[in-house]
Amino acid sequence: MGNRVKITINGSVHEAEVEPRLLLVHFLREVVGLTGTHIGCDTTNCGACTVLLDGRAVKSCTMFAVQADGRTVMTVEGLAQNGQLHPIQEGFHQKHGLQCGFCTPGMMITAFALLQRVPNPTEEQIRWGISGNLCRCTGYVNIVAAIKDAADKMRGTPAPAGERS
């Protein structure tokens, strides 16, 4: 038997009949068709599946879709608005914060949640904030720079001349 769920995702309401064991990540990817959220480990270790649930970063690979019933989810697809990249997306592009891109959606969502809580983070706060997300390519230096760049843009503070790309 299935359960009917109604989840607001990136501002749109999605309703479906789902098996109680269906993971939120599979609901997003297979039922709704939002494939930006990646499946990496199924154990919450990598963070590639990170989404916002009611404004809080969660790993969707270990959460059931029925647990999100009646709640609000934001995926990486929800960052851009009206065809404009979000400052986090711009930062990852301009500061080369990605290589293979597999971890990038989860990193961006985690960064978004961090910057909601800490608008002007230090490097240490950024590194701590993304510590639940693994990247096997970049060494994190450019990811940290991308998040710092996004923080500056979101606050309306231009980066110092020596830090511009």
Which structure tokens are listed for 46? 């990598």
| The total number of residues written for the chain in this structure | 165
| One-letter identity of residue 97 | G
Rounded to 5 degrees, φ, ψ at 8 are -90, 115
Which pLDDT tens digit goes with each residue over 101-140? 999 999 999 999 999 999 999 999 999 999 999 999 988 9
**Taking the C-alpha atoms of 89, 76, 86 and 69 in order, what is their torsion angle to the nearest 10 degrees?**
-160
Distance (Å, whole) CA 150 – CA 144: 10
Contact by Cβ (8 Å): 4, 17: yes
Joined tokens for residue 95:
């500061």
Cα–Cα distance measured from residue 146 to residue 85, given in angstroms and rounded to the nearest whole number: 14
CATH code for the part of the protein at 87-163: 1.10.150.120
- With a CB cutoff of 8 Å and minimum separation 6, the contacts of 5 are 15, 16, 17, 18, 27, 65, 66, 68, 69
Query: For 63-111, what is each residue's pLDDT tens digit?
Result: 999 999 999 999 999 999 999 999 999 999 999 999 999 999 999 999 9
CATH of 3-75 given 3.40.50.300, 1.20.120.520, 3.30.70.140, 3.10.20.30: 3.10.20.30
Q: Which amino acid is at 10?
A: N
Residue 56 has pLDDT above 90, yes or no: yes
Q: Where are the domains of the chain?
A: 3-75, 87-163
